[in-house]
Amino acid sequence: MTDRLLVLVRHGQSDWNLKNLFTGWKDPDLTEKGVTEAREAGRKLKAQGLTFDVAFTSALTRAQHTLRLALEEMGQTGIPVTKHLALNERDYGDLSGLNKDDARAKWGEEQVHIWRRSYDVPPPGGESLKDTLARTLPYYVQEILPGVLRGERTLVAAHGNSLRALIMVLEKLSPEGILARELGTGAPIIYRLKADATVESKLDLA
49 falls within a domain: yes
Does residue 175 surpass a pLDDT of 80?
yes
**In the predicted structure, residue 2 carries a pLDDT above the cut 90:** no
CA distances from 65 to 2, 25, 116, 186 (A): 30, 15, 25, 11
158, part of any domain: no
113 lies in some domain:
yes
The answer as to whether 176 is a domain residue is: no
From 11, 37, 65, 73, the catalytic residue:
11
Phi then psi for residue 168, to 5 deg, are -60, -40
In the sheet with 81-83, reading across from the earlier edge strand, the strands are: 81-83, 54-57, 154-158, 5-10, 189-193, 199-204
Q: Which one is catalytic: 40, 89, 127, 152?
A: 89
200 within some domain: yes
How much is the pLDDT for 47? 97
User: How far apart are the C-alpha atoms of 29 and 183, rounded to whole Å?
Assistant: 19
- Residues 162-177 have a mean pLDDT of 93
Residues 75, 48 contacting (CB under 8 angstroms): no
CATH of the domain at 97: 3.40.50.1240
| Residue 21 covered by a domain | yes
| 157 domain-assigned | no
pLDDT of the residue at 62: 97
| pLDDT range class, residue 180, cuts 50, 70, 90 | confident
Mean of all residue pLDDT scores within the chain: 95
Predicted pLDDT of residue 206: 81
11 is catalytic: yes
Band the pLDDT of 1: cuts 50, 70, 90.
low
- pLDDT tens digits, residue range 58-115? 999 999 999 999 999 999 999 999 999 999 999 999 999 999 999 999 999 999 999 9
Q: 13 is in which domain, residue-wise? A: 5-149+182-204
Q: Assess whether 159 carries a catalytic annotation.
A: no
User: Count of domains in the chain?
Assistant: 1
Taking only the tens place, the pLDDT of each residue in 81-93 is 999 999 999 999 9
